[in-house]
Chain A
Amino acid sequence: MKKSSSLDALARSRRSKKWVLLTVRVIAFLATATATLVMALNKETKTLVVAMVGSTPIKVTLTAKFQHTPAFVFFVIANGMASFHNLMMIMVELFGQKLDYKGLRLAMIAILDMVTSTVALISGGASAATFMAEVGKNGNSHARWNKICDKFETYCDRGGVAIIASSAGLILMLIITAMSIFKLLNKPNSVSS
């Protein structure tokens, strides 16, 4: 009698853990997708008066787009790929309960989580974009690079929002990786579902 109730409790706790992991994955997917979209649609056009010829001002139209900077292009691609990975993992958890290959499924999920999304992609993309944004905001006097954020404020603000969203996604992906690894390490000791 006691043994079956403890098995029930174990099964219940494993089901609730599965939903917790799924919720965190959905939030992380939203965070990285937000970062991708906000940075990809980041564009600002401004007309500046360059010189005066007589009494008519000469205007120049400048556009700030994310494609001008390779670091931001990398940021968009990295966050896009991480969102895709999260989406795939959500699909697999919801619909792919039958897919298994020698019990390797949990191991592959954990490793893919760790290597692709968390470690390589998001951290590299967020870091490169952060430092490029820092140069854009403060300039670099030694290299004679002027700051651009005082002229293109909306562009800089949106870029900042995208970087913050990506960092939040990174922290959530770290939590997901830790949970996946714990699931992997606890598997052989518990009752198979």
Chain B
Amino acid sequence: MIKPKRLLSLLLRFIAFGTTLAAVILMATSHEKGTFFAVSYEAKYTDTPAFKYFVIAYAIVTVYGFLVLFLPPGSPIWRLVLALDLVFIMLLISSISAAMAIAQVGKNGNPRAAWLPVCGQVAKFCNQVTGALVAGFIALITYIILLLYSIYNLLNPLFEKA
């Protein structure tokens, strides 16, 4: 039968894969058209390079998470997975940080630079982007828990020796 350790790790990885997929889908399908005093505008995620980076980064991690789900236990590739986890966490952190910086300006504006907030006109777009960022955050926290768990399993023999 499946050991409880393996089951916990598999469950965490499935949650991580699911939330990264949700973040990608939510961000990629967020677009809204409207008119503002006879000026028509359209808000898409491709308007900002930060959101494009977010979609690309999370798409890469989704594919990685999907492939790792099928890795058999006890294979020597798990050490590589540990290192790759660290690299991909860095990618996730940088992309969500960039997306949040731009989203914060979009929501609150920056009066000193004469940048008006955009969320008043494209509320549906803003809500969907917020949802994508929340899903991205949950994925990030899940990956960090996974990393700490893997390090704990790796270092446990060292602790017992001392």
Contacts and interface: CB of A to CB of B under 8 A. Distances in A.
Given A132-B102, A135-B105, A145 B113 contact: yes
Contacts, number: 93
A111 B102 CA distance: 30
A119 B90 contact: yes
A143 B151 contact: no
B118 A130 contact: no
Contacts of B5: none
**Is the contact region of chain A dominated by helix, strand, or loop, or is it mixed?**
helix
Given A126-B94, A143-B47, A71 B113 contact: no
A65 to B, nearest CB: 8
Given A68-B113, A69-B110, A142-B43, A123 B93 contact: yes
Interface residues of A, number: 39
A129 B101 CA distance: 8
Interface in A103-154: 103-104, 107, 111, 114, 118-120, 123-132, 134-136, 140, 142-146, 148
A102 B159 contact: yes
Contact of B102 (A102, A131, A146): A131
Contacts of B78: none
Nearest to A78: B97
29 contacts: A68-B113, A69-B110, A71-B101, A102-B159, A103-B161, A104-B159, A114-B86, A119-B86, A119-B89, A123-B93, A123-B94, A123-B97, A124-B94, A127-B97, A127-B98, A128-B100, A131-B50, A131-B98, A135-B102, A136-B113, A140-B47, A142-B42, A143-B47, A143-B116, A143-B118, A146-B115, A148-B113, A187-B158, A188-B158
